[in-house]
Amino acid sequence: MSNLTIGHLAKKASVGVETIRFYERKGLIQQPPKPSSGGYRSYSSAEVERVRFIRSAQQLGFSLREIDELLSLEADPDADCQDVHAKAKHKLEEVEQKLKRLRAVRSALKSIITTCPKKGRAAGRCTILQALNTKNNR
Amino acid sequence: MSNLTIGHLAKKASVGVETIRFYERKGLIQQPPKPSSGGYRSYSSAEVERVRFIRSAQQLGFSLREIDELLSLEADPDADCQDVHAKAKHKLEEVEQKLKRLRAVRSALKSIITTCPKKGRAAGRCTILQALNTKNNR
DNA sequence: CTTGACCCTGTACTGTGGTACGGAGTTTAG
DNA sequence: CTAAACTCCGTACCACAGTACAGGGTCAAG
């Protein structure tokens, strides 16, 4: 809960200051209350995790819009949350699909690595597409 | 190996015709030999898989440049392939990282789903960030 | 009480990954 | 043989996700 300036937040989350403000404009981060008229933004250290999650999720192929949806998922005891449940389930299915495809890419890469030894010559020609389509991978 | 026009390829790969030409300009697909002066592009059906892989890899957070690198990985028996080996290993590490993070997102989503039942009220407040940071997930 | 490092808002610019269109030529079904 | 449907190349345009100023204000050290 240490009070952070935008510069400190940006540094801790390994992004630029402009990126923080950009996320704020997009609604991914709510603008922290500034000491009214002219002061600076003041962030709690919890925001660091939020920004890191955004970067991480982007690397996994989620758009900022989708990340916003993920971050909005909130099981609230004071509200009936059927909607949240449905959204979470949908996202979970997407994630399972990504996992599946990533595992396929992984096994294709492994196949290339073994087919192509560090030294000497490969046992045969092998591209990532061939490795993917060879269903006896895994 | 059936000869496909660009329109057929696009349809089979579920992308637009313009996208195929765009990939060609980017070097992700090599321009097929056209019947010299004025003819149409003619693709083999293997290209369908190539385009599908591109779309799939994009969903996993790879840029077109990275996808080009993946597709260029080729264990060639007629060349020493130390370089390919190193690149593949690097990509594999990236993929392992993605898998790790995706599994974390998955367990956070599952946690939200159980915390937030379809009917009635949740057991407690729970956001995806809280679910991620609760290390007793999985 | 000034100087330098930071922050403010706002607008403009950039790179990536397409998408749309204009003005042609080609192919194929009737 | 003609008309529709498709293709060609080139250029312009678009959304997304930042990145870079410009022209100020603020704050803390010396």
Tens digit of each residue's pLDDT (9 = 90 or more) over A66-107: 999 999 998 777 777 888 899 999 999 999 999 999 999 999
**Residue the block writes with tokens 């895994």:** A138
State the distance between the two ends of chain B, measured CA to CA, in whole angstroms. Answer: 46
Q: Write down the pLDDT at residue A37.
A: 56
pLDDT at site A137: 47
Statement: the pTM of the whole predicted model exceeds 0.75: yes
Model pLDDT, residue B38: 64
Cβ–Cβ pairs < 8 A, chains A and B: 172
B84 Cβ under 8 Å from any chain A Cβ? yes
CA proximity to A2, closest of A58, A48, A36, A40: A48
Does A113 lie at the interface with B, CB-CB under 8 angstroms? yes
**pLDDT tens digit sequence for A43-73:** 999 999 999 999 999 999 999 999 999 999 9
Protein CA at A10 to nucleotide C1' at C2, angstroms: 29
Contact A25, A18 (CB under 8 A): no
Task: Give pLDDT, residue B107.
Answer: 97
3-state secondary structure of A127: strand
Confidence of residue A19 (pLDDT cuts 50, 70, 90): very high
Whether B118 sits inside 8 A of A61 (CB atoms) is no
